[in-house]
Amino acid sequence: MQYPDNIEKINLRKSERIKIFLPGRLRVGEDIYIGAIVDLSKDGCLFTMEPGEIVPDQEGILQVDLPGGDTLEKLPCGVKNVWMESGKTNVGLVFDNTDDEEYFKIRSFYNVCAERLF
């Protein structure tokens, strides 16, 4: 068996991910889950919470207090994937950018963070 001389890392993501901790709430149907955003990109995030009954393709509403005083009250999002890790439920969310005002807030926050980190 032969191995290549060089290995190239290719990033397939549309934007860099930012490791972060933003406490928040995720409403899916009538259920509200308390947790935190632990990973943020331009188009979505990773929300971690106590075990819950969430499955891919559900619609949700994300509520988060952003540093600096802005609050996301009703950011529409879709559940992309769900997995358990270390006793927590991890939920991959993709932001629905049809609510321009809420989407603008999270996108602006991401851009400020990215400018300082990358």
Q: How far apart are the C-alpha atoms of 32 and 14, rounded to whole Å?
A: 29
- What value, to the nearest 5°, has the Cα angle with vertex 11 and ends 62 and 85? 50
Q: How far apart are the C-alpha atoms of 77 and 94, rounded to whole Å?
A: 5
33-91: per-residue pLDDT in tens?
Answer: 999 999 999 999 999 999 989 999 999 999 999 998 889 999 999 999 999 999 999 99
The token duo for 117 is 């980190």
90-106: per-residue pLDDT in tens?
Answer: 999 999 987 789 999 99
Do residues 25 and 49 lie in contact, with contact meaning Cβ atoms separated by under 8 Å? no
Is pLDDT at 113 greater than 90 in this prediction?
Answer: yes
pLDDT of residue 118: 80
pTM value?
0.85
Q: Which amino acid is at 98?
A: T
| Per-domain boundaries in the chain | 18-117
pLDDT of residue 13: 53
pLDDT of residue 64: 96
**H-type helices in 1-118, by residue range?**
100-117
Region for residue 29 given its phi and psi (left: phi exceeds 0; alpha: psi -120 to 50; beta: otherwise): left
The CATH number, out of the four listed (2.70.150.10, 1.20.120.530, 2.40.10.220, 1.10.1740.10), of the domain defined by the range 18-117 = 2.40.10.220
Q: How far apart are the C-alpha atoms of 77 and 28, rounded to whole Å?
A: 10
pLDDT of residue 117: 84
Is pLDDT at 10 greater than 70 in this prediction?
Answer: no
- Which residues have CB under 8 Å from 84's CB, separation 6+? 51, 90
Do residues 48 and 19 lie in contact, with contact meaning Cβ atoms separated by under 8 Å? no
